[in-house]
Structures are given as C-alpha cells and as structure tokens.
Chains A and B, each alone.
Chain A
Amino acid sequence: MKRVCTFITFFSILFLFFTSVAFGQVHTRLRVIRASNVGSSVDPSLRDVHQELGSLFSFTSYRLLRDEPLNLSPNHPVSISAREGKINLETTLVGLHRGVAEVRIRVAREGKEILNTQVRLSPGRTVLIGGPRLQEGVIIYALSARF
C-alpha cells in the first residue's frame, strides 16, 4: 500500500510538472493610471511611471485607478475596463518562448478599436500604453511581467 501511494504521488508530481509546462500561465501586473495636470499629487506606487514619463510629458498628477494581477493563459483574453466601460483593454497571451511572453493588446474606446499591438514581455519589462483621454487627463496602462 505504501509503495502504491509513493508511485501515485510520484506520477502526480510528474503529471503536474508536464501540464504546467504545456499550459504555462504568465503572471503580470496591470496598473490603470490617470495622468492629468489637475493637482500635483503622485501616488507612491506610481513613482516609477512618473519617473519614466516625467521626461516625456508634463503631467503633474498621477493617480492609480486600478492595480490588478493578471494571470494570462494562452489564447484566453482578459479585459479591463475604465471610465464605466468606455475604454477597454484586452490582453491575450499568444505565445511563451524561453521566458518571453508574447502578449496581444487591444484597446477599444466605446467599442471602437483604437490600438491593436503585440508586445514581447520579458521579466522586469514594463509596457506603458497611454494617450486616450479620460476626464480631464489621459489614461495610462502599465503592464509588467512578473515571471
């Protein structure tokens, strides 16, 4: 009985290992940010974004709207909406090769696609997608790899 249990445990571990390799998930972090010139506050968790965009744009305020971990599975789109669903971002994992995830990103405004892109996310890489207007500022999506 003890031997049977050992065998079952061993093969279960093998099965889990191979299935996790075959159907690997990619863990990412998505932050939805509103940048504007109203006020001059920068959320502490957005210092990296402010530092990066500060040299490019003259926004004085960076406010974090959402901060969510996204577990992307191959060919399973994950959507995040902002401004009561008027701006929608959809991310899909389309490939994973040697620690580089290929992610397709679609941004739609009021149902109309305004951006369709595919990026390669490697560990430590952050992709910032910004520009569409949101109230008195602009919306910025910060997608970071966590694997």
Chain B
Amino acid sequence: MNDSCSSASKLLEKYFDQEATDKERLLVESHLQDCLACRGALTSMEDMRTLIKVPVEEAVREEDFPWVWQKIEREIRSHEKLTRWQSLRPWLDVFPLFKKKVWIPAVATVVVLLFITGQIIFRKTPSYPDSSVVEYLESPTYNVMVYQTEQPKVTVIWLFEGPEEEASPS
C-alpha cells in the first residue's frame, strides 16, 4: 500500500457512508480507478452492509411497534405516583353533579342528613328496668294475676273468671 492508498483508505469509510465532502469524494474516486486493493476493500464494505441490512429489515417488518408502545405507556402509567385527589377524581366524575362543582353543598347536605338521622337513631330513650315488663293492664271482666320470673325470663298474665274458674293456683 503506497502513500496515496494510505490517505485514501482513511477516507474510504467516510466515502462509503456518504459523509465525504466533494473534494474528498473526487480524491477517493480517482484513487479507486487505479487501486485494486481499495476497490476490494470498498466491495467488502458493501457486502458487509448487505449481509446486515437484510435480517435487520426483516426484524423491523415483523416487529409490532404500536403494541410495544402501548406496553411502554402502561409501564410508565403504573410507575406514576398519583396524588390522593388525582385517584379520587375519576370516581367523582361519575356524577354530573360533581362536574358542576356543587359537591360542597352536596357534602354539607349529607352531613346535615346524617346529623338528623343520628339524632333519631341514637336519641336517648328511657332504659326500662327488666322488672317492668307489663306497662299497663286492663280487663273489664276478669281478675288478673301477673307473675314474673327472671330465670328463665317469663311473665305470666293470668285471667280468672270468678269462683267457677277451674284453674286455680295450686
């Protein structure tokens, strides 16, 4: 390899990649006309490119890029940290009321309703002693006996018809 060959071979790759300037291109082309070794080197480069290009193009053709992109987007979303409000927002959008930004009065109404309901449910009621099972008792024609036990919890209300009553206390 002579000196001109040495300087041209440095530009050969640039020429092959079509990155050489006009001056460099003319220099390489004039050299290639006379140099068999450099022509051989250029041919080798072209063969190598052909060898790589075919399988790469096939792989690109077969690859489903939209699907890959969807997968990447999903991964990004899953790694994104949502604030509490951001995670709550889609739920609030279910109701048209929330979209109109009337949720503050709505929440206030619910609180008032809960307060009123709570007053009804948990209002203080008189606690009855277990001994007063019978609140009142009226019988215009019978004599009435009330008998009560706690174990078991039984209250007996017995009506006596009079002297002819068969059932009498033992």
Partners in one complex: yes
Chain B count of residues within 8 A CB distance of the other chain: 42
How many residues of A sit at the interface, in one of the four size bands? 35 or more
Taking a contact as CB atoms under 8 Å apart, the answer to whether A98 and B125 are in contact is yes
Point out the residue from B140, B144, B155, B161 that lies within 8 Å of A133, measured CB to CB.
B161
Asked if A42 is an interface residue, CB under 8 A from chain B, the answer is no
Complex interface residues of chain B between 128 and 170 (CB less than 8 A to chain A): 128, 130, 132-142, 144, 147, 149, 152-161, 165-170
> Once the chains are docked, how many angstroms separate the CA of A3 from the CA of B91?
7
> What residues of chain B lie closer than 8 Å to A120, measured between beta carbons?
128, 132-135
> What residues of chain B lie closer than 8 Å to A16, measured between beta carbons?
none
Taking a contact as CB atoms under 8 Å apart, the answer to whether B156 and A53 are in contact is yes
Q: Which of A25-33, A70-78, A109-117 contacts B (4 or more CB under 8 A)?
A: A109-117
Point out the residue from A22, A52, A97, A114 that lies within 8 Å of B159, measured CB to CB.
A114
Closest to A22 in B: B120
Identify the B interface with A (CB < 8 A).
90-91, 94-95, 117, 120-121, 125-128, 130, 132-142, 144, 147, 149, 152-161, 165-170
Identify the A interface with B (CB < 8 A).
3-4, 7, 18, 21-22, 35, 37, 48, 52-53, 55-59, 97-98, 100, 102, 107, 112-122, 124-133, 137-138
